[in-house]
Chains A and B, each alone.
Chain A
């Protein structure tokens, strides 16, 4: 049985925000709500790293544990979904989530912030409402069409992988094995030379 997961390859992510745009476009996510976003560590510093973050569909999800109305459910393929008809907008899930995945359309406390919205792994949501109603509440259901989330499929460098955890872990493992590790992978030394105080760049060696 498939267990859907995301992996973001920080060595490949170029912070283009294509995944964010794809998600917004595919699911008609309202203004102010970001189901997915790109986080950059050491921004502007050589060797910076970017990671695309959304709901990670945890196997032991803290949002499910803290929800006072128990509106969260895990689908058969391991995707954490929530029923917006049950959500009271309390925000407990936001405090519990280590990734900041739950989003709220308005500012305010205790329901004034509106129903929680988060990544559905492009799998729609619970209930058997009409397709249009499902789309307006949760967005596209690409998984039912045999497709993967649009954020991963649109990723230009294939940094963001989505799918069955075992399958994408194997893809990632093969990638890491092939490309190796070290400065030759990162490319900073090639582009900008070694750090100050280090050896001279290889390209200038031999020149008098």
Chain B
């Protein structure tokens, strides 16, 4: 019966560990979002009413949103 020498056994174990090391790895799939295929969306302030004035539009919407706060309306 063939008898393994100690260095040979260590070398074999190392080779086996190295060889199987990749088996437990999870495959990593990077998700890449697709590119939008539709027509462009105009910014809401690019409307006839606001004509690109973003600050004016934002102020109008803030004021409008505050009308939902009945505690402010009661004061």
Q: Give me the interface of A with B, judged by CB distance under 8 Å.
A: 2, 64-65, 67, 69-73, 75-77, 81-83, 85-86, 123, 125-128, 141, 143-148, 152-153, 158, 161-164, 167-168, 171, 174-175, 178
Contact = CB atoms under 8 A, between A and B. Distances in A.
Contacts of A162: 65, 68
B47 A144 contact: yes
Given A163-B65, A164-B62, A167-B66, A127 B50 contact: no
A129 to B, nearest CB: 8
Interface residues of B, number: 30
A125 B40 CA distance: 9
A171 B43 CA distance: 26
Nearest to B56: A146
Contacts, number: 102
B64 to A, nearest CB: 5
Interface of B: 31, 33-47, 49-50, 57-58, 60-62, 64-66, 68-71
Q: Is the interface of A mostly helix, strand, loop or mixed?
A: mixed
A75 B39 contact: no
10 contacts: A83-B37, A126-B38, A126-B41, A128-B39, A144-B45, A144-B50, A153-B68, A158-B68, A163-B62, A164-B65
B69 A174 contact: yes
